[in-house]
Amino acid sequence: MDATATVTPFSTLIRTASHEQHTEAETSTFMSDLLGGRLGVDAYTRYTEQLWFVYRALEEGAEALRDDPVAGPFIQPELMRSTELERDLAHLRGADWREGVEPLPATAAYAARVAECARTWPAGYIAHHYTRYLGDLSGGQIIRDKAEKTWGFERKGDGVRFYVFEEITNPAAFKRGYRELLDAVNADDLEKQRIIEECKRAFALNTAVFRELGEVFPLSA
Ligand code: HEM
């Protein structure tokens, strides 16, 4: 029998390796309070601002990686979120939304690491790409639904456009295709292991942002 037939697919390895941290991110105090409807729209706005800094790093980095033999296949225009985030922020903060928008320290560190990977380590960039975009296509839809109900945004309208992938009509099929890309990633076993480590780091960077947001928006007991 072909020995490779029993090897666990990389998409399974990366999902399994980050499972614990996924639960941690999902159940962070800030996320729980946000999804529990216990925070105001100002907290949602501040969170959306943080996402903008992260996606700017992801998507500015994407440009240069389009033809990269390792990261290139992952760069797909239908995933891009910066324009949607900018529309959401214009809705949430007004036309002059850029004035006074600052990343939290954890966000600045996260965006810097994404940019560094994009610049110097395309395989590491994949870890960040996976952590955000596959998450947005999955749990992101739960967040959108909650946000619409809690703060009264129009369904799939301004304020929640970040969560709406207009060009991906079948997210389940898209995710299957994405997992196939992961399984076929142009990297040896050692490099795959390093990607998994970077994925864990990506989750930790997200959790750190939630922690700081939780400090800015504590629940008044
Ligand atoms: C309250 C917040 C969250 C909820 C409710 C949530 C929920 C989910 C659900 C239900 C799935 C499974 C989808 C499927 O089987 O296809 C999923 C997958 C995923 N989530 Fe989350 N999630 C949340 C937060 C996050 C965060 C903060 C991250 C990282 C930044 C993240 C990253 C991922 C990734 C990468 C996957 C894909 C796993 C894979 O199939 O390989 N999620 N999420």
Q: What is the CA radius of gyration of the chain?
A: 18
Q: Which of 23, 138, 178 to mutate to test the pocket of ligand 1 (most atoms within 8 A of CB)?
A: 138
In whole angstroms, give the CA distance from residue 126 to residue 134. Answer: 11
138 C-alpha to center of ligand 1: Å? 5
What percent of the chain stands above pLDDT 90? 95
Length of the chain: 221
- Going by alpha carbons, the residue nearest to atom 4 of ligand 1 is 139
CATH domain 10-216 topology: Heme Oxygenase; Chain A (1.20.910)
The reply to whether ligand 1 has any atom less than 6 angstroms from the CB of 25 is: yes
Residue spans of the domains in the chain: they are 10-216
pLDDT of the residue at 219:
80
pLDDT digits (tens, 9 = 90+) for 24-51: 999 999 999 999 999 999 999 999 999 9
Neighbours of 2 (CB within 10 A): 6
Is it the case that residue 220 has pLDDT exceeding 90?
A: no
pLDDT of 4 above 70? no
Average pLDDT, the chain: 95
Indicate whether this model's pTM tops 0.85: yes
**Residue pLDDT, tens place only, 176-204:** 999 999 999 999 999 999 999 999 999 99
Q: Please report the pLDDT score of residue 63 as a whole number.
A: 87
Residue pair 216/46 in contact (Cβ under 8 Å)? The answer is yes
| Pocket of ligand 1 contains residue 134 by CB under 6 Å | yes
End-to-end CA distance of the chain: 62
